[in-house]
Amino acid sequence: MPWQSYRVVWRLRSPLRVGWRSVGNLQQTRPYVPGKVIWGALTARLTRDLGNGADGKAYRAVGQRLQEAMRFGYFWPTTAPPTPRYPWDEPAQFAYDFLASMMSTALDYDSVSAEEGSLHEAEYLRPYAPDGAPVYLVGFLWADEEVLQRNGLPWKEALPHVLLGGEWHYGWGRVHLEALDPLPHPDISNPEAFSWGKDRVPAHVLATGEAAARLQGPVEPLMGWEMLPDGRKSLPLEAQLAFQPGAKVKVQPVDFRIGSYGVWEPRTS
């Protein structure tokens, strides 16, 4: 499969939230955008652009066709594109530059007061750093152009119009496409088979096989939902244990492939 690598740069035009976990009343965001979120956003945009936005089965079909011909990297914030910033380099400074939160509560109209127990704080990636600098997202995509054309998916035309993350009803998740650059000499030219020799992995890695012995870092279960073929119901996906982004590589290099949702999977030799 002839993969073409692209570097993508989006500028945040509003707060962006990718739900992660709750700590007390604080609903934390992931400090990055996973590949699965990019896949889902592009699937939704393409399905609507193709005139099938009211057809639940169409979303599943378009998503599967994208998975056949694209792989999605994780996207990281920065104020100086195209160089991404990572939270493991300077955790406190990263949080100060890119994370903020908003308090809100539901209202009890009968008592003209806040609804009991509904106060919460939602964390998000901010569109501007405290010094006023715009915040961008930088990441990579891999595409098989021949298969995409054969499948009738004009992904380059759809990419500038995606919405990322959640809380769309608040106007969050808006991004502006600043750059879509083909890379002649990428670090990863074939997402189906590559060796990684850097100190950290900028994505989730399944904690199986060689990766379990060669990586070091916190792990978490990856879970989600997937539509059934009828397009109306959902089923929870089976949880997979994975190293969180930023896992250290103890023994280099490690052989990987990138899965359909952007999660790195170890390859056995």
Domain boundaries, the chain: 1-105+114-184, 191-269
Looking at the chain, how many residues does it have? Answer: 269
pLDDT at 5: 98
Cα distance between residue 135 and residue 118, in whole Å: 31
Residue 209, amino acid: G
> Sorting pLDDT into bands at 50, 70 and 90, what band is 116?
low
For CA atoms 30, 143, 147, 266, give the dihedral sign: negative
Q: Find where tokens 């189906």 sit.
A: 192
Quick: pLDDT tens for 210-237: 788 899 999 999 987 766 666 555 666 6
The residue among 32, 212, 58 whose CA lies nearest residue 124 is 32
**Angle subtended at Cα 171 by Cα 165 and Cα 174, rounded to the nearest 5 degrees:** 55
Radius of gyration of the chain (CA): 19
CATH number of 1-105+114-184: 3.30.70
